[in-house]
Amino acid sequence: MSRYIAINGTADQEKTLLAKLRMPLDEIVERVEKALDMWPDNLRIVLLLRDKASGVQDIYRQRYGKDCDYKAFISLGRLEIVLSVADASPRVLAHEIGHAVVERFFGKEKRPPYHIHELLAQYAEKHFND
């Protein structure tokens, strides 16, 4: 049970994800917060699991009407990460959690420009193990 993340997926998807990550979800969140030096209040993320990247891409297409080749993405307004279990890794998840931390830290009213948001998420991913 995570303090920060509510998982929306099957029991098999959750079991496979946790085995691939080899660390608790809360530890990933806390490492990202430390890397970014951002500690947002009331951080709560929904993690929507799909078996493969094609499932992630289907959801993206349904929501945004655009094709993509993503294996994961975050819906900032919902603070919901959509993730392919087949492609999951701590770094991929750290990147998406980085977006969530930045979003909650600054809030919708002070959201940084897209490129800055992406740079901060990339920073969180790169410095995940520091």
In this prediction, residue 130 carries a pLDDT of 58
What confidence tens digit (pLDDT) does each residue in 70-112 have? 999 999 989 999 999 999 999 999 999 999 999 999 988 899 9
User: Mean pLDDT over all residues of the chain?
Assistant: 95
DSSP state of 73: E
Positive or negative: CA dihedral 22, 24, 8, 97: negative
Least Cα distance to 95 among 119, 126, 121 occurs for 121
In this prediction, residue 109 carries a pLDDT of 87
In this prediction, residue 128 carries a pLDDT of 82
Domain boundaries, the chain: 5-126
What confidence tens digit (pLDDT) does each residue in 18-63 have? 999 999 999 999 999 999 999 999 999 999 999 999 999 999 999 9
Q: 5-126: which CATH number, 3.40.30, 3.30.590, 1.10.4100, 3.90.380? A: 3.40.30
Least Cα distance to 125 among 100, 95, 83 occurs for 95
Percent of the chain with pLDDT over 70: 98
